[in-house]
Amino acid sequence: MQSLRLCASAVKVDNRATHRVAQAAAPVPSAPSPGEESTMKRIEHGLETMMFNSRWLLAPIYVGLVVSILVLLVKFVQEFFHMLGHIFSASESEVILAVLTLVDLSLVGNLLLIVIFSGYENFVSKIHTENHEDRPDWMGKVDFSGLKLKLVASIVAISGIELLKAFVNIAAYTNTELAWKVGIHAVLVVSGVLLAWMDRIAAATKH
C-alpha cells in the first residue's frame, strides 16, 4: 500500500516537472524592437494629424454659406425695389406681405451667420477677432448645444413669419394648407422646447 502511494507521488512529481519543462520550452513573445515601435508611432501620429486636419474640409462649406448670404442680399434688394415700385398702388395687406418677406429674408441671413460663425469656431478654427470693436458678444461663447438652440429659435421665428404671411393673405390658402402650416409650426415649437429641456437636464446632471 505504501509502495503504491510512493509510486503515485512520484508520478505527480514527474508530471509537474514535465509541465515546467514544457513551459520553459514554450516560445516567449518577444517585445517589439525600438525600430518597430518607432514606425508604429509615426503611423499613429500621421493618422491623428490627418484626422485633425480633416476639419478644414468643412471650410469650403462655410465659404459657400457666405456666398449664400450674398444671394440673399440680391433677393432682398430685388424684393425691396419691387415693393417701392408698387408702394402707392399696393393695398395694405400687400405692403405687409412685402415687409414680412423682407423680415423673413433677414432672419434667414441671421441664421446663416450663426451657422457660419459658430460652426467654424466649434469645428474648424478660432476666429481671432477678440479685440475688434464690432465683434458680436456671442461669438466664441456659443457651444454646440447653444448652436442647436439658436438654430431652432431662428427656424421657429422664420416659421412664425411664414404663418403670419399666410394669415394676412388667408384668402389665398385652403383650410388644409393653413392646417399644415399651423401643424408644422407647432411641431417646430415643441421640438425647440424639448431640445431646451434636454439641454437643461444634461447641464443639471453635470453639476
Q: State residue 197's pLDDT score.
A: 87
DSSP 88: T
Mean pLDDT across 96-110 = 89
Residue 31, pLDDT > 70, answer no
| Confidence check: pLDDT of 8 > 70 | no
- Decide if 41 is inside a domain: no
Q: Is the residue at 74 inside a domain?
A: yes
DSSP assignment letter at 27: P
* Interatomic CA distance for residues 5 and 28, integer angstroms: 36
Residue 163 domain-assigned? yes
- Domain of residue 88: give its range: 68-206
**Domain for residue 188, yes or no?**
yes
Q: Residue 48: is its pLDDT beyond 80? A: yes
Residue 199 lies in a domain: yes
121 by Cβ neighbours in 10 Å (0-12 / 13-18 / 19+) ranks as middle
Rounded Cα gap, residues 120 and 56, in angstroms: 9
More confidently predicted of 41 and 7? 41
Confirm whether 14 is domain-assigned: no
Q: pLDDT by residue (tens digit) across 139-194? A: 766 777 777 888 888 888 888 888 888 888 888 888 898 899 999 999 999 988 88
C-alpha span between 189 and 54 (Å, rounded):
35
Whether the per-residue pLDDT at 51 is higher than 50: the answer is yes
Could you give the number of structural domains in the chain? Answer: 1
Four-CA torsion 169, 174, 180, 182, nearest 10 degrees: 40
pLDDT band at 57 (very low <50, low <70, confident <90, very high): very high
In angstroms, the CA 136 to CA 13 distance is 83
Amino acid at 173: Y
Answer yes or no: is 122 within a domain. yes
Instruction: Confirm whether 60 is domain-assigned.
Output: no
Mean pLDDT across the chain: 80
Question: DSSP H helical segments within the chain, as ranges?
Answer: 2-25, 34-53, 59-85, 92-123, 144-168, 175-206
